Amino acid sequence: MHIRPGRYNYSVSEDVMELIHQFGEMWARTPKNIKNIRAALKKPARAGVYILYDGATPVYIGKGNIPYRLEKATRNKRKNFWDHFSWYVIKDETVMHDVEVLLLRTLPPYLRYLTKQSGKFTTIRSTDQHPSDQAAEYITRKKDIRSNK
């Protein structure tokens, strides 16, 4: 694995990972990083999914040509909502939509306010649970050891 100094940018050999070709995590939103994202991504593989963060909180998940979409996000209605980004180049573009949906579905609905979609998988169907199995087990949490109460 090769790590570029000063960045969370990894290049992974083809035989190591089945899904991801290359990725970068929690890059700061700076004009330099946005400009250099094209150079960081190996040609021609630039398509994948990306996540925009407000601090450490994800606020948008998208897919497509990563450099183009990030440059666009600095100029559109999302421009004042994010300060970091992560990106993942997907080896097989036919699964890119489902990867985006999987990431979207991990977010609580209130964090999807910019995405405005819940995501639908392309080919698989949901297996619903029986209504009697929807109530979770009651759990008790230990008191915070730092608390005086």
Q: Check pLDDT > 90 for residue 86.
A: yes
Report the chain's mean pLDDT, rounded to a whole number. 77
Each residue's pLDDT tens digit, 15-60: 556 888 888 899 999 999 988 888 887 677 688 999 999 998 898 8
Cis peptide before 131 (omega within 30 of 0): no
* Minimum mean pLDDT range among 12-16, 60-64, 83-87: 12-16
Q: What's the CA gap between 84 and 16, in Å, rounded?
A: 27
118 band by pLDDT with thresholds 50, 70 and 90: low
Q: Which phi and psi angles does 2 have, rounded to 5°?
A: -110, 130
pLDDT of residue 3: 39
User: Per the structure block, which two tokens stand in for 58?
Assistant: 């994800």
The answer to whether the Cα torsion of 80, 81, 82, 88 is positive or negative is negative
- Between 31-40 and 66-73, two packed helices, what is the crossing angle to 10 degrees? 170
